[in-house]
Structure 1
Amino acid sequence: MEKFLQDLFKGQSYDEKNFFLIAGPCVIESEELLSEVAEKVKAICTKLGIPYIFKSSYRKANRTSASSFTGLGDELGLGLLHKTGQRFQLPTTTDIHAHDEAAPAAKFADILQIPAFLCRQTDLLVSAAETGKIINVKKGQFLSGPAMKFAVEKIRQAGNDKIILTERGTTFGYQDLVVDYRNIPWMKEHGVPVVMDCTHSLQQPNQTSGVTGGNPQLIGTIAKASLAAGADGLFIETHPNPAVAKSDGANMLKLDLLEELLTTLVKLRKAL
């Protein structure tokens, strides 16, 4: 495991041969939701020896419909993210969408996540890199794994070598995504840890209803295949009741199903 990840997980008890997990509700809806998810996922990860990063977005800038929920407000959302991390002694991550969001978000989060649609935005990548935080760049749905070398180069040239790349599927037609597992070893060739986003890769975007669809019943399939392909970490958005979630409910994993899935995945990892 890279030194910057070892430092990030310092204080957690985990199996160094395990994959690491980035998990949480898609968007910050309330303090109660963050606490419920963080507490339950941390307990599962501690039991299974999985290093854990808590994820929830303080702002959702990329929504299909203008009426979609975007957040509780930046100050409140970032404050709740930081409070959750402190309370449960967990590293945290959140999306940023513009260069002027990087420095403010870096005061509250340990990892800055660059959304897939924005992975080519030079000013965003450079501003994020200059905070000195770990930068997790999601591969664009329109890019190949080898092409992500340019995002890595931009961050490194800005003086930051703490980089994670995340695969999240490739656009297939107008309303679907497919996962090309070749991208996992290809992106590992850039000398960075690679994560598989097991939930967003199952989205069905651009629905005429204005609400993105999904296939959460295949989360386990995506997770197993990605570990077999060499993924270092998994990204799984989870919610106690995805049916009422304010963002991406159609592709999130129900919280009650997480432990069984992770138990299976740890066994698979050990077999590999």
Structure 2
Amino acid sequence: MKIPKLSHTDSGNFFLIAGPCAIESREMALEIAEKLVAITGRLRIPFIFKGSYRKANRTKLNSFTGIGDLLALEILKEVGETFSVPTLTDFHESHEAAMAARYVDVLQIPAFLCRQTDMLTAAAQTGKVVNIKKGQFMLGDSMAFAVEKVKSVHPDAEIFLTDRGNSFGYGDLIVDYRNLPMMQAHGVPVVMDCTHSLQQPNQASGVTGGKPALIATIAKAAIAVGADGLFIETHPNPSVAKSDGANMLPLNELEGLLEKLVRIRKAIF
């Protein structure tokens, strides 16, 4: 499946990576995808559907991790084929890259693993688009080395970099918008993750918290700064989501936010 051009699109819009944190069921994934395709189609926003086939980085041992790797990957493949949209998933060990690549169009390197050479080169070897999340412990300038590792294996690889905030004390994150132009200087599209940047990880309860009321604030600022794309996790009912519900945007709030963001984009470009 051809990936839409990720910057300077015909519509002049940013692109959107959106979907649930984890694939919980076929019905849920198709429901979310159908609504996202309709919204982004109307607003002429290039769209990539995301969903994790497995959640490896959980606070508690008994936290939800997934419905089964192959089942979730098959659902992602069905979403892509049903709606003719590119799909994205993250992976957590280098040997899983080839497996995931058989089902999706974009492989994502989790933020905690963005320095792992084996992960980056394994993603590059698949020939898929690679989205590298900037580590919460890194400056945007340093992401040049992650790009270099992918390019060393696949010089023509399509790469984008995603900011998801920086660690700020214990159990909180803060967004430093200087990182967006810093990463654009590496010659790749840059995305702002508007939901994970509002996480409050490693809470004493063992459940990651968040500040979803500020998603619009993060998104508006990112577009004003010049982000090429946005990453937004969304769910019909975040309160019952099996993963990261505390920082996902309710699906029924996404269209109104995107309408505002399109107007901001037009005002500054």
| TM-score (norm. length: structure 1) | 0.95
What does the per-residue CA deviation read over 1:150-191, in whole Å, with 9 as the maximum and x for residues that have no partner?
100000001143110000000001110000000000000000
Q: Could you say what secondary structure the match of 1:185 adopts?
A: helix
1:223 aligns with 2:219: yes
Residues 91 and 110, structure 1, Cα contact 8 Å, conserved in 2: yes
Separation in 2, partners of 1:227, 1:104: 34
Q: Could you say what secondary structure the match of 1:164 adopts?
A: strand
Aligned to 1:268: 264
Q: Could you say what secondary structure the match of 1:234 adopts?
A: strand
Q: Could you say what secondary structure the match of 1:166 adopts?
A: strand
Amino acid at match of 2:20: P
Separation in 2, partners of 1:16, 1:113: 25
1:163 aligns with 2:159: yes
Separation in 2, partners of 1:78, 1:29: 11
Amino acid at match of 1:87: T
Separation in 2, partners of 1:205, 1:34: 25
Task: Let me know the Cα RMSD of the aligned residues.
Answer: 1.2
> What is the number of residues matched between the two proteins?
264
**Structure 1 counterpart of 2:95, from 100, 107, 124:** 100
| TM-score (norm. length: structure 2) | 0.96
**Structure 2 counterpart of 1:188, from 181, 184, 189:** 184
- Among the aligned pairs, what percent are the same residue? 65
CA displacement at 1:228 relative to structure 2: 1.1
Q: Could you say what secondary structure the match of 1:70 adopts?
A: coil
Moved over 4 A (4+): none
Residues 15 and 50, structure 1, Cα contact 8 Å, conserved in 2: no
Give matches, 1:103-252, under 5 Å. Answer: 103-160=98-155, 161-252=157-248
Amino acid at match of 2:54: R
Separation in 2, partners of 1:232, 1:42: 19
Aligned to 2:31: 36
What does the per-residue CA deviation read over 1:4-36, in whole Å, with 9 as the maximum and x for residues that have no partner?
9xx4128xxx74310000000000000010011
Separation in 2, partners of 1:150, 1:59: 27
Separation in 2, partners of 1:239, 1:27: 10
What does the per-residue CA deviation read over 1:242-268, in whole Å, with 9 as the maximum and x for residues that have no partner?
000000000000000000000000010
CA displacement at 1:52 relative to structure 2: 0.4
Q: Could you say what secondary structure the match of 1:8 adopts?
A: coil
- In the alignment, structure 2 segments of 5+ residues that lack a partner are none
**Quick check: 174-183 or 155-164, which moved more?**
155-164
Separation in 1, partners of 2:12, 2:46: 10
Q: Could you say what secondary structure the match of 1:147 adopts?
A: helix
- In the alignment, structure 1 segments of 5+ residues that lack a partner are none
1:89 aligns with 2:95: no
